[in-house]
Each structure stands twice: as structure tokens, then as C-alpha cells.
Amino acid sequence: MNMEIRVKICGLRSAADVQVAAEAGAVYGGFVFFPKSPRNLTVEEAAPLALAAPLGLCKVALVVDPDNDSLDRILAAVPIDMLQLHGHESPQRVAEIRARYGLPVMKAVGVSGPEDLPQIDIYSQVADQLLIDAKPPKDAVLPGGNGLSFDWQLLARRKYWQRPWMLAGGLTPDNVAEACRMTGARQVDVSSGVESAPGVKDADKIRAFVEAARGVTGAKGAPPKLV
């Protein structure tokens, strides 16, 4: 039976990106608010994109170790449905942001080896969703979107966590189906894997990625509920 894999296209930077992602069948659209990223948007750039997003597309703001002032500015102008915390936010900070803004929070957890897995259980106590991503190299400028993957076998025996989770890190139209089958992921996130250049989305790759993810078969159970 079809897995009904839910797809998040992250790093949307234009109205065309948003439209293509929605029409292809993505459930989540990510807007990056991190100046060091080639996918960064200012509040002024993001607001019209989010306002024009088709109904049904969950609009996600990716932020990195944000302070309250920066979150206040984003949320005052951009209609966001979910916050994605992609920095070194502590469990306490995650809970604080979730309580302060009343929005679902997705916490990214970087994984490179089995020693990182306990962090998933820790953050599952305070976040609404988890994004399990490849841990960036120590000298990396970006906390994500580096096109790196990790050993998916690390997740093969832990297909079910306390919270809905999303697989990220080095996914492409060519490997997303294998990644889902190996890990049991029911949600996937892609950014650089559907680009023709850093920060430049490729419409054909977006369509191919969503088609490949949604074509995975053999899963059991219901897909996770959107929060």
C-alpha cells in the first residue's frame, strides 16, 4: 500500500518555487531566515510568498538560535504555521519558544553516529515534530542544507519515535525512495537535492522528488498527523 510520504521542500525563495512545490504535492514549504544561507529571505521578501501560498501548504520558518526579537519580527509580518529550530537550541529554549508563540515547533537533531540518537528522545519531550538531519561538519557555515547524508541504518531499528519525525540530509529524487524504505520515514525534507545551484530551485527536480517519495510502497500504519 502507498506510504503517503509527506514532503517538505525547504529554501523556497520565489513565488514560482512555492507554486511548483504545492502543485507537485508537497505538504510543507520552508522559508529560511538565516543570513549565512544562500536560501535566506528577509522578512520583507518572505511575507508576500507566504501570503500567496496555496491553501494546504504548511508554511515553515527555519530559524537558527533565534532570540525573541527576531522571532517577533518574523511572526508579525509572515503568516507562519510552524517554526523549525535548526540551531543549538536547548530543550528548555524549545519549550519556551513553543509556549511563547503558540505554534507547533519542529526541532532539528543532527546525527552522525549512534551517540547522537539519545538527543532525539530528549527533544521529543518538548517539540511537536523532529527533523533528523545529517550533523554538519565542525567547520560548516550552515547547520543544514549541505547535501550531506548519514548512515540510514542508524534509524532502521527505530522507525517509531514519540513524535512525528522527518528525515533530512542528502536526499535527492534518486535516493529518497531507498531512504524511506530503509528508515521507515513517513516524512522527508529536501533543499539542495532539488536545486540547480545553491539557493536556486529546479522545478523538474521538485516534481521528480515528490513523485519518487510518494511512490514508495510497503509501509504499515497511518501517516503522522499534521500539527
User: So what's the pLDDT on residue 143?
Assistant: 52
| Mean pLDDT of all residues in 200-227 | 76
Which amino acid appears at position 3 of this protein?
M
User: So what's the pLDDT on residue 149?
Assistant: 63
Q: How many domains does the chain have?
A: 1
Residue 164 lies in a domain: yes
| Catalytic site residue from 10, 17, 58, 189 | 10
Mean pLDDT over the full length of the chain: 88
In three-state secondary structure terms, 95 is: helix
Residue 222 lies in a domain: no
Nearest to 212 by CA among 22, 24, 12, 1: 24
- CATH code where residue 153 lies: 3.20.20.70
Residue 174 lies in a domain: yes
Residue 25 lies in a domain: yes
Contacts of 220 (CB under 8 A, 6+ apart): none
| Catalytic site residue from 17, 128, 133, 189 | 133
Share of the chain above pLDDT 90, in %: 71
In three-state secondary structure terms, 106 is: strand
Residue 227 lies in a domain: no
Q: Please give the Cα distance from 204 to 196 (Å, whole number).
A: 10
Q: Please give the Cα distance from 129 to 203 (Å, whole number).
A: 27
Active-site residue, 133 included: yes
The pLDDT tens digits for 82-134 are 999 999 999 999 999 999 999 999 999 998 888 888 899 999 999 999 999 88
Residue 226 burial (CB count, 10 A): 16
Residue 221 lies in a domain: no
Active-site residue, 81 included: no
Residue 220 lies in a domain: no
pTM comes to 0.88
Q: 122 lies in which domain range?
A: 6-214
Backbone angle region of 184, left / alpha / beta, with phi > 0 → left and psi within -120 to 50 → alpha: left
| Mean pLDDT of all residues in 156-182 | 85
Residue 99 lies in a domain: yes
